[in-house]
Amino acid sequence: MAPMTEAGEDMYGLVERLYPLCRSITGDGVRATLEIVGEYVPLQVHEVPTGTQVLDWTVPQEWNIRDAYIADAAGNRVVDFAASSLHVLGYSVPVAATMTLDELRPHLHTLPEHPDWVPYRTSYYKPDWGFCLAQQTLDALPDGDYEVRIDSTLADGHLTYAEHVVPGRVTDEVIVSCHTCHPSLANDNLAGIAVATHLARALAEQQPYYTYRFIFAPGTVGAITWLARNAERVARVKHGLVLACAGDPGSLTYKRSRRGNAEIDQVMRHVLGVSERPHRITGFTPYGYDERQYCSPGFDLGVGSLSRTPYAGYPEYHNSADNLDFVSPAAMADTLAVCREAVAVLDRNRRYVNLSPYGEPQLGRRGLYDALGGRSDTKQAQMAMLWVLSLADGEHSLLDIAERADLPFDAVATAADALEGAGLIKA
């Protein structure tokens, strides 16, 4: 348990470092985020110019912001971007003006139902400006003139995303994707970035069967850009997982791929089921995170989504209450553990053919029974061998066999290794 506890603390430390940065779908905040992630795993960073056609979309202008505030007549900043990156409407155009409170009100966003929380709002594709603030702050503002300043730029530049690849024994790929476009929101999606980063580190210490490609990209347009620029690689993608909302106190939720019966769907159902963790499995919907891009009908990749409390499913979603107190090392460690368990199954899940299919082969003379002598799970191991021999027809995977036989996947995979070593089955 100690290694997972340590991993949880490490992930929380990464979230703490990333939390103050102002991220958006483009800009220096994304670059600064990737620079920090790059201290944990090496990244290949891609810069895609404004105006580049990516499928049905166009890479937008790049947005950067240096300062923003609303100041009262005495010069006091009553709303200050320096205090939180949530205080500015994302992609706000530059503003330098003095206006009355009534003139300012149409540009102010609050959450009246949670008067001490600050909402997260954006205007990516419609030129606009605004501030987000607590309702109680707004209620306390007297009538009068206010200085309004947004020191931002919206100009031709680049969309930035990054990849980290863990080479496998085969070139078939598993993609793990998380979005990098949210500002100071700890669960959505800094926890997802942290879990993906530490999963990549764990895989780098192994020799995985599949090649694992980790994608750190802004939501929607970033995933679309990756798909547009990797058309030749998409055929290699056999499985995938989108990570989001990975650190809150809720139980785990897995959202199936558009196919509904992809191998990753079966793996996640099995792993969550046998773990006896509280969890939910939901069907695919074309709304949520970037699974909807990877699963769009032209690609139809086997990509599901893993979160704790799902998209928009908790009051703290997309507001200042999604802070460092809302996520925990233990929750991120639990999410990471499930990812590692799923990868272990995915990497060992094969289909085999019985090379001695006429009658049951004699296992004793091949030393297979002797090799089990003294094990506490001897009977289970023997049954696993018999089930693998029975269903090794090229159609059933090891996970199919484990579920049909009601046996642990590890027992079935271990039996397959022994049978393959004895020349009785082949992949």
Query: Residue 269 in 3-state DSSP?
Result: helix
The tokens describing 43, both together, are: 């990244």
> Is 396 labelled a binding residue?
no
Q: Which residues of 319-342 are buried (b: 16+ CB within 10 A; e: fewer)?
A: bbbbbeebbbbebbbbbbbbbbbb
Please tell me whether residue 31 adopts helix, strand or coil conformation: helix
Q: Provide the 3-class DSSP secondary structure of residue 424.
A: coil
The single residue listed with the structure tokens 């990244």 is: 43
C-beta of residue 22 within 8 angstroms of C-beta of residue 11: no
Give exposure, 176-205, as e/b (b: 16+ Cβ within 10 Å): bbbbbbbbbbbbbbbbbbbbbbbbbebbee
Closest among 342, 340, 354, 365 to 415, alpha carbons compared: 354
Could you tell me the CA-to-CA distances from 355 to 37, 163, 352, 369, 384 in Å, in that order?
Answer: 48, 41, 9, 19, 17
Structure tokens at 288: 């949520």
318 is in an annotated binding site: yes
Binding site listing for Zn(2+): 182, 188, 318
Binding site listing: 182, 188, 318
